[in-house]
A and B are shown apart, each in its own frame.
Chain A
Amino acid sequence: MEWGSLQNFIDMGGYGLYVWGSYLVTLFAIAIEIFSLREK
């Protein structure tokens, strides 16, 4: 898969909102879970 440019990658063929809206929320949720379980 050749994206050509970073802009194309972010744009996701016009579906950027949906793709990144899914991935960023997933990343955020995982970050919160790991942070909440840190051991002092």
Chain B
Amino acid sequence: MRFWKYSTPQNFYPAAKKIAAVFFVLALCFGIPGLYIGFFVAPTDHQQGEAYRIIFIHVPAAWMSMFIYVVMAFWAAVGLILNTRLSSMLAQALAPTGALMTFLALWTGAFWGRPTWGTWWVWDARLTSELVLLFLYVGFIALRASIEDPRRADKASAILAIVGVVNVPIIYFSVKWWNTLHQGASVSLTKAPSMASDMLLGMLLMALSFWMYSIAVSMLRVRKIIRDRERNSGWLNN
């Protein structure tokens, strides 16, 4: 199989539809058992009661908000360096989903913070750097929208995306570097997770579901972008 064949919008367009269908199914395959475990298997938390069940969407949304940004910046950089249109289109397609995940991380965080910390919002390093991430996504989308020529918009927004990557490790390590109200990581690559195994399983299944969902909607969006940007090229109409 010639992989590079799919690096043109024309060939990627039909493939993206198939990828979207597969990943929507995968999102359900992880999401349904994830929610079942989250609500019907995982026990009540001895400190937070049932309020902790927000974790099953809060942590996946927060992880995806950071991960999508890195992937978006990667494709933006590839588009900038290799001048490949599809790469820039992928970056463009990821931004709204990344912004949505960031919004959900902040929103569910506020709804979790209120009953457990007694406040919806606090200007600590974790929350503030996550808010900056939302502004970076919105800035990326707005910058694109303000430039009429899509190829120039690709280049300008790529610079913004690449510079903004520095914020991602700041978010991730903020709970270590500064004294934050937000708790430290319960799950990391270097030590055993500090939570009950059913809670952890539910959370990981939901994280996989969010990941698969993000891929699926990004594929649908890249199709929309291709339809928009290639509408005058002729191949779409036949």
Residues of A at the B interface (CB closer than 8 Å) are: 1, 3, 9, 12-15, 17-19, 21-23, 25-26, 29-30, 33-34, 37, 39
Contacts and interface: CB of A to CB of B under 8 A. Distances in A.
B39 A22 contact: no
Interface residues of B, number: 31
Contact of B220 (A13, A17, A18, A37): A37
Given A1-B44, A22-B107, A13 B224 contact: no
Interface in B46-67: 49-51, 53-54, 57-58, 61
A3 B39 CA distance: 9
- Top 9 nearest A-B pairs (CB, nearest first) are A13-B50, A15-B51, A22-B108, A37-B220, A12-B50, A13-B49, A22-B111, A18-B111, A22-B54
A26 B57 contact: yes
A30 B213 contact: yes
B195 to A, nearest CB: 15
A12 to B, nearest CB: 4
Nearest to A19: B53
A26 B112 CA distance: 14
